A and B are shown apart, each in its own frame.
Chain A
Amino acid sequence: MSRQPLDAAQIHALVVERFPAVTLERSENAQPWLKAPADGFLDLARFLKDDPRLAYDSLMCLSGVDLATFNLPPAKPVPPPKPGAAPVPPKPAEPIKPVEPSLACVYLLHSLVHRHRLMVKVLVDRNAGVVPSVESVWGVAGYFEREIFDLLGVGFAGHHDLRRIMTPEDWTGHPLRKDYVYPTRYNGVELRRAGQRFEDGPYAGNAP
């Protein structure tokens, strides 16, 4: 098979013939990516891998993103604490602003045949969102999907063994979600940030 790298528009044109719901998007730095719906994503993955013009035979990375934004006020300089003064407790932050659907799975694909790359994003619903597992297409996806399941709580339909992988088996919640509330105790140990959220931390009220 000869080497024929395609650009994003050509790839999109090929994909859209079979999957009309897939759109071509550009991010701020002009990096193009394909936005795909979760329904029928497994067929799209198979197509991306098996079509000889695309031949995406390697899944370089599969990561999850929480797209919700913090409602934080604009950054302002913090005056240095006066010597001897009691430390100022951080202000509790505003609740996060949910966007819908607010989780995303980002697939970075690479073709060793044509040496072209592709980013595909699948947006997922925050509550009980499920994406088809692409483990049967790229075997390596199994571990990535477990990680996303563990840290962001995205379900993967058809995964052979969807368990937590990073946090302990009996951990509660999904720590990389922006609305994650830190647990109070674990294994008999009081946790330092009991009941807080990420935004209540060091940058509270002063986020960039």
Chain B
Amino acid sequence: MAECGSKAGNRDGEQLALTCVDDFLNWGKENSLFYLLFATACCGIELMQTGGPRFDTDRLGMIPRPTPRQADLMILAGTITHKMASRAHLLWKQMAEPRWVVSMGSCANAGGPFSKYSYSVLNGMDKFLPVDVYIPGCPPRPEALIDGCMALRERVRRFRALGIRDRDPVVIASASPAPVCGDQGFKPQRPEGQG
């Protein structure tokens, strides 16, 4: 909370904290990023690992929610087929604003190993959803996912009332070179008129 100040003592010796509303709300939001349980392929295994005791997203205030109504964050963990894309879009629409999308793994980013030759796999969920953070890897390690969550927290901190938020998505650089899958020519994008 950048503008937070604390004054020692008024008349009754009480402590007083001063902040702006945005900072205060964002402090609450970034520490309670409940994520939707939504895993569609092998990346979901890494998502589970990240939620498990070793990496433990709970310590970041990230608790899995079984329903989109209670979730702030959608982690797209796994391959999104054309059929699944419509379902994922519906789930995203059911989430309350402000909502955030993390695209985890090559598949959700750009189609991954299926990008070139599959008829059924969508080449990147960012054709339908406004993605905030891209995490490369096939699959990304839990460290990379935690990294992505930290980057998302940065974004949440900059969120402003009336839904003003950063436009450009964050692409996490992975420690190991991300596997290049096909010639998908990965370019972050935002769908028309959304987000």
Contacts and interface: CB of A to CB of B under 8 A. Distances in A.
Interface string A178-208: 0010110011010111000000011000000
B82 interface: yes
A132 interface: no
Q: Please provide the 6 A-B residue pairs with the shortest distance between their CB atoms, ordered closest to farther.
A: A168-B83, A201-B117, A182-B119, A186-B82, A175-B119, A189-B127
Given A166-B120, A168-B83, 20 more contacts: A167-B82, A167-B120, A168-B86, A175-B119, A175-B120, A180-B119, A182-B119, A186-B82, A187-B82, A187-B85, A187-B86, A189-B82, A189-B127, A191-B119, A192-B115, A192-B123, A193-B119, A201-B117, A202-B116, A202-B117
B137 to A, nearest CB: 21
B185 to A, nearest CB: 10
Nearest to A200: B117
Nearest to A173: B119
Contacts of A186: 82
B107 interface: no
Interface centre among A171, A183, A186, A192 (most CB of B within 10 A): A192
Interface in A133-148: none
Nearest to B87: A168
Contacts of B111: 192
Contacts of A202: 116-117
A64 to B, nearest CB: 17
B122 interface: yes
Contact of B116 (A167, A189, A192): A192
Contacts of B117: 193, 201-202
25 contacts: A166-B83, A166-B120, A167-B82, A167-B83, A167-B120, A168-B82, A168-B83, A168-B86, A175-B119, A175-B120, A182-B119, A183-B119, A187-B82, A187-B85, A189-B82, A189-B122, A189-B127, A191-B119, A192-B111, A192-B115, A192-B116, A192-B123, A193-B117, A193-B119, A202-B117
Interface centre among A168, A183, A202 (most CB of B within 10 A): A168
A116 B73 CA distance: 52
Interface string B12-43: 00000000000000000000000000000000
